[in-house]
Homo-oligomer: A and B are copies of this chain.
Amino acid sequence: MALKYESVAKDLEERIRAGIYRPRERIPTVEELCEAYGVSRITVRRSLDMLEESGLVVKRRGAGTFVKDMDAAQDLAAEKRVLGFSESARRDGCTATTRMIDFTITEAPAEVARRLRIEEGEPVYHITRVRHVNADRGLVAYTWIPVAIIPRLTREQATVSIYHHVEVQLGLTVGSTHRQIRAVRPTPDERRWLGLPEGEPLLEIDQTVYLSDGRLFEYSVLRRDTRAYSFNIISKD
A interface, CB within 8 angstroms of B: 24, 42, 55, 58, 60, 63, 66, 68-71, 73-74, 78-82, 114-115, 117, 174-185, 199-204, 206, 208, 210, 212-214, 216, 224, 226, 229-237
Contacts and interface: CB of A to CB of B under 8 A. Distances in A.
- 5 closest A-B pairs by beta carbon, nearest first, are A201-B201, A182-B226, A183-B183, A183-B201, A180-B230
B176 A237 contact: yes
A23 to B, nearest CB: 8
Nearest to A67: B214
A214 B183 contact: no
Q: How many copies does the complex hold?
A: 2
B181 A80 contact: no
Given A55-B176, A235-B176, A69 B216 contact: yes
B55 A214 contact: no
Contacts of A115: 71
Contacts of A60: 212-214
Given A80-B237, A181-B203, 6 more contacts: A58-B176, A58-B214, A81-B235, A81-B237, A178-B232, A181-B232
